[in-house]
Amino acid sequence: MSEQPIIVVAGATGVVGNEMIRILEERKTPCKELRLLASENSVGELYSFHGQEVEVRLLTEEAFAGAQYALFATSADLSAKYVPAAAELGVCCIDNSSHFRMAANVPLVVPEVNASAISIGEKIIANPNCSTIQLVPVLKVFEELAGLERVVVSTYQAVSGAGKAALDELWESTRSVFTQQEKEPEAFPHTIAFNCIPQIDVVLDSGYTKEEMKIINESRKILGLANLKITATTVRVPVFHSHAESVNIQTQRSISREQIIELLEKTPGIRVYPNYSDYPMQRDVAGTDEIHVGRLRKDESAENAWNLWIVADNVRKGAALNAVQILEQLIR
Ligand SMILES: NC(=O)c1ccc[n+]([C@@H]2O[C@H](COP(=O)([O-])OP(=O)(O)OC[C@H]3O[C@@H](n4cnc5c(N)ncnc54)[C@H](OP(=O)(O)O)[C@@H]3O)[C@@H](O)[C@H]2O)c1
């Protein structure tokens, strides 16, 4: 496209939408006009973008008219309604919600892993779940080196993954412990202050949570490995930003630690911590763009098995940055 595009951010006033605005500006993504959409509560709020003030407008179907691209940072219900409507108007939509991710005709993309899944003229592209995004580039390295045999993931997920109300709830809940004015939790099923909750999203009949099934099903789709043996336990921890994952990976063939580190280091978007005593932590990783990989060590309890620790900013690489990277690929 020679002319710069009109870009819409739907859900612009939320955790992910706010970060999208920042990242579009930081990366100088080509943009002739930025439109910001949200609920009636936010209409009229002003955001700065490249020195100009942009006023938040109401999310309606008409608000997409004439735009070329839309980044959606809305709930699954809102995306289900407005993404097809915008696509009908010719707008190419990149959606952060879970609604379209597993649809057979919708590419689910982490650019470092499966950029080729996007074809020209595509109108709906899904951004994966934050926990999946930071996992699959690392899994791809092991798949390329020695074939994946089995993957076991346990997550330690920040509250920002549940949106702005959840961030407020961690503050309030923590403060209320000291003032002895504890309230019923709203954003989480239990009190989040000084607690870890082994439930993210709803619990399904199988006993797994929806978040766990997102990691399992989305990883298989992105990697193109429909039968990949992978299981997950997802846990919400009282941390504001960045998700951490303890991952056990078993490969089909033998590989050395040096081979793994060499390929991880060559992979765009990954930062490796080769020394055993130097490792990424959620506080330090917040605000960065990379997927941080540390504590890589041989699991002596099984053949060809490895343990590692993966940390990434769930709002940046886990959501807004990944969406903007997809957008930039489309604009190119
Ligand atoms: N947070 C993460 O790390 C993360 C990661 C991956 C994917 N996601 C997904 O990204 C989406 C957004 O998440 P978030 O964390 O940014 O949520 P959030 O902070 O709660 O923001 C929600 C956004 O949706 C808008 N909205 C709510 N109700 C609306 C309505 N009736 N009409 C129009 N706009 C409405 C809000 O506008 P108002 O401010 O006006 O209410 C706000 O801009 C979700 O689908 C989430 O699952 C989030």
Greatest pairwise CA separation for the chain in angstroms: 60
**Separation CA 110–CA 141 (nearest Å):** 14
User: End-to-end CA distance of the chain, in Å?
Assistant: 7
Instruction: Tell me the two tokens of residue 126.
Output: 């899904």
pLDDT computed for residue 210 by the predictor: 98
Q: Cβ(164) to ligand 1 under 6 A?
A: yes
Look up residue 130 and give its two tokens.
Answer: 């934050």
Long-range contacts, stretch 167-172, CB < 8 angstroms, 24+ apart = 167/15, 167/240, 170/238, 170/240
The CA 11 to ligand 1 mean position distance, Å, reads 5
* pLDDT 10s digits, 227-255: 999 999 999 999 999 999 999 999 999 99
The residue contributing the CA closest to ligand 1 atom 4 is 161
User: How far, in Å, from the CA of 3 to the mean position of ligand 1?
Assistant: 30
User: Which candidate, 249, 231, 214, places its Cα nearest to that of 138?
Assistant: 249
| Predicted local distance difference test score (pLDDT) of residue 183 | 87
Run of H or E residues at 133? helix 130-146
Ligand 1: nearest atom to the Cα of 97? 45
Q: What is the pLDDT of residues 189-239, one digit of tens each?
A: 999 999 999 999 999 999 999 999 999 999 999 999 999 999 999 999 999
Neighbours of 190 (CB within 10 A): 12
The CA distance from 197 to 238, in Å, is 9
From the CB of 157, is ligand 1 less than 6 Å away?
Answer: no
Please tell me the distance from the alpha carbon of residue 311 to that of residue 266, in angstroms, as a whole number: 18
Amino acid at 295: R
Q: In this structure, which residue's CA is closest to atom 30 in ligand 1?
A: 39
What are the tokens at 242? Answer: 């960045």
The pTM assigned to this predicted structure is 0.96
Ligand 1 atom nearest to 79, measured from its CA:
45
* Cβ of 234 less than 6 Å from ligand 1: no
DSSP string, 189-234: SS--TT--BS--SPBPTTS-BHHHHHHHHHHHHHHT-TT--EEEE-
Best CA proximity match to 162, nearest among 318, 26, 327, 283: 318
34 Cα to the center of ligand 1, angstroms: 18
Mutate to test the pocket of ligand 1, among 8, 9, 16, 83 (most ligand atoms within 8 A of CB): 16
pLDDT of residue 121: 86
Low-confidence ranges of the chain (pLDDT < 50): 1
